[in-house]
Amino acid sequence: MTQTATFAAGCFWGIEATFRQIPGVTDAAVGYMGGHTENPTYEDVCSKTTGHAEVVQVEYDPDQVSYDDLLKAFWQMHNPTQVNRQGPDVGDQYRTAIFFHTPEQQSAAEASKQALEASSQFDKPIATEITPASTFYRGEDYHQQYLAKRGMGSCHI
């Protein structure tokens, strides 16, 4: 039986592509979470008025990949010290966040964040918010597997 994990780490195209490459991930979909607007569109989210983050909702087989392994991948695929941005993308929709679905995920996310902070890997504080998952609004079809559809490996340089 699969489980669900949801992460925000900047532009969702590259994050989705990266999670799809992890053995044990059975699906990954881009969408929006964490805001107050129901059924937002990409344009709504880009207006910076919805409160939503661009997220990737990951379905995974815990017998093949652990939530801790997904957290490790999450920390490696973006800069968790940046507030409301990743690279050239700026706005609250690009914030770094872990949306937990269970108390176990919350504990694991908090422990992994604390371990990363203690590691002194970054000169700045970790900005990643850890918050309860709310309604996942699936992104438009043209955003799903965006990079794969275009034969691209990543979004940015």
Q: Mind telling me the catalytic residues?
A: 11
CA dist 130 and 73 (Å) reads 16
Q: Which helix (H) or strand (E) holds 111?
A: helix 103-118
Q: Which amino acid is at 8?
A: A
CA dist 87 and 143 (Å) reads 19
Tokens 């990743």 found at: 86
Q: What does 120-147 look like in DSSP terms, one character per residue?
A: T-SSS----EEEE----EEPPGGGTTHH
Strand locations in 48-92 (E): 53-60, 85-86, 89-90
39-to-58, 94, 104, 138, 152 alpha-carbon distances in Å: 19, 18, 28, 9, 28
